[in-house]
Amino acid sequence: VQLQASGGGLVQAGGSLRLSCAASGRTFSGYVMGWFRRTPGKEREFVAAINWSGGSAYYADSVKGRFTISRDSAKLTMYLQMNSLKPEDTAVYYCAAAFGLAYVGDRYPYWGQGTLVTVSS
């Protein structure tokens, strides 16, 4: 399984960004794909996850109502639409895949490289 994250950048507070995670290497039926983020000095934090087959989505309370996770099965790509961004959303964002829903990164065996999101105040 290969995961390739992209879409990070610099945005002002209140702005929007869309992250993408292109997947390859297998079919993802039964898998859950998620986004995590890490800020220096802090532990890796769960952001959102989506059931690849059914499309059910799960969010951290800190992003609920502002971020939307989705996937395009035909393109094998997952997205994270981030709106109303705050400076505290600044982090390196990682996409990951696991067989079954999990909220902790240790349960995800497959990871993409990170993409940096910087939100200026």
Contact indicator for 43, 59 with CB cutoff of 8 Å: no
Give residue 40's pLDDT: 86
Give residue 55's pLDDT: 86
Q: How far apart are CA 23 and CA 4, in angstroms?
A: 7
Ranges of residues in the chain with a pLDDT under 50 are: none
Give residue 82's pLDDT: 98
**Listed residue (45, 43, 47) closest to 33, CA to CA:** 47
